Amino acid sequence: MIARPFTAFVVAIAATLATNLPADQLPRYVKKTNARGTIRICGDMQGGLLKLLEDAFVKIHPNVRFSEIPGASQLAVPAMVLGVADLGIAGAPAEPAQLYLLDKVGPARPVEISIAGGSFDVRGRSAVLTIYVHRTNPLDKLTVRQLEGIFAEARNAGWKDNLWNDAQARGAEENIRTWGQLGLTGEWANREIHTYGLSWGGGNIFMSRLLTGDSGKWNPTFRSYNIEGFASGKALMPQMMADMSADPSCIGFTLMIFAAGHNDVKPVPLAWNEQGPYLLPSRETLANRTYPLNRDIFIYACVPLDRAKSEFLRFILSAEGQKIVADHGIFNPLTAGAIQEQLRKFE
């Protein structure tokens, strides 16, 4: 199988992102200029985290004011497109069409900046995703490339650098459609794989980026479900768990909180590549960013940044800012490697 560009990218930086230091040992914030002005921010306020970061920043830069437009994560980038927000805050990646529009609004280039890792098990707070199979399935591990082969379909292009780009193409020869292709034998060898997962929303957008090149081209067997507000009737999450419990050929992605108590499914350890390590989600593997389906909290901006926005983002990505993330108690502070990766996007 040929590694897709996005998958290859995350594999390449995985070792860097795993550089883990406690928040109080990260680089400290150093003020480069006296910031002033108003910063308008739209999106999900992340359970009060944004306000804590703003208040701490204003103590250092008293001439800065914040104007908030609370809303769903999916409103963050559209508000920037409409010119009513300078920054967007979201608990899920922005959809590619949104970033395309933002890129076309003006000469500034949109950037996606991770400011924290997602939660372990808090509903509505970018909780970690987990892969499940039926308890009778002998499969004991998977790589991200294998997940792509299982869940994705052939495509002639995908989103890259805010364009529909054939660099993200993927051939049907890379599909994995039977359990035998994953090394299972006997009665499992020719058994068809049935895929399940979340419909539209943060978890689906995250997985679509990771596995489909943001194309949305899923395995034709893919059955999608979600929570109330995203789904209704038999498309709800309890039905997904019931359907998977009754289907020995199932494999699906969801939050651990939705799978809890369903003993007919089991989680599968994951690795970025065949060298491993193969991991299940835990507080430790989320904190050190080694588990592949770790999610993030994002701020969207357009570069080059003015002084106020640059100072604010550098503050968030400092020991002081990440200590606020840690003390807030829901999300994971970033590692030193992840912070350096984010700073390079706008400095």
Confidence band, pLDDT 50/70/90 cuts, at residue 14: very low
What does the pLDDT read at residue 196?
98
- Record the pTM: 0.90
What does the pLDDT read at residue 192?
98
What does the pLDDT read at residue 2?
37
Give the other-Cβ count within 10 Å of 138's Cβ: 12
- Contact of 266 with 44, CB cutoff 8 Å: no
Q: What is the mean pLDDT of residues 317-342?
A: 97
Strands (E), the chain: 37-43, 64-70, 87-90, 109-117, 129-134, 142-143, 158-160, 163-165, 194-198, 223-225, 250-255, 265-267, 270-271, 296-303
Give the other-Cβ count within 10 Å of 287's Cβ: 19
Domains for the chain: give ranges and CATH numbers.
5-124+295-343 (3.40.190.10), 129-280 (3.40.190.10)
Q: What is the mean pLDDT of residues 53-79?
A: 97
Is 16's pLDDT higher than 80?
no
Q: Render pLDDT for 228-245 as a digit per residue (tens, 0 to 9).
A: 988 999 999 999 999 999
Confidence band, pLDDT 50/70/90 cuts, at residue 17: very low
Give the other-Cβ count within 10 Å of 206's Cβ: 22
Is 117's pLDDT higher than 70?
yes
What does the pLDDT read at residue 21?
53
Q: Render pLDDT for 77-96 as a digit per residue (tens, 0 to 9).
A: 999 999 999 999 999 999 99
Using the structure block, give the residue that is written with the tokens 């992102």: 17
Q: Render pLDDT for 282-321 as a digit per residue (tens, 0 to 9).
A: 999 999 999 999 999 999 999 999 999 999 999 999 999 9
Using the structure block, give the residue that is written with the tokens 């640059």: 310
Q: What is the mean pLDDT of residues 108-135?
A: 96
Q: What is the mean pLDDT of residues 100-128?
A: 95
- Contact of 179 with 189, CB cutoff 8 Å: yes
**What own/partner pairs with CB < 8 Å and gap ≥ 24 does 275-278 have?**
278/141, 278/142
CA dist., res. 241 & res. 277, Å (int): 28
Q: Render pLDDT for 188-229 as a digit per residue (tens, 0 to 9).
A: 999 999 999 999 899 999 999 999 999 999 999 999 999 998
Is 252's pLDDT higher than 70?
yes
First vs last C-alpha separation in the chain: 36
Average pLDDT, the chain: 93
Q: Render pLDDT for 151-161 as a digit per residue (tens, 0 to 9).
A: 999 999 999 98
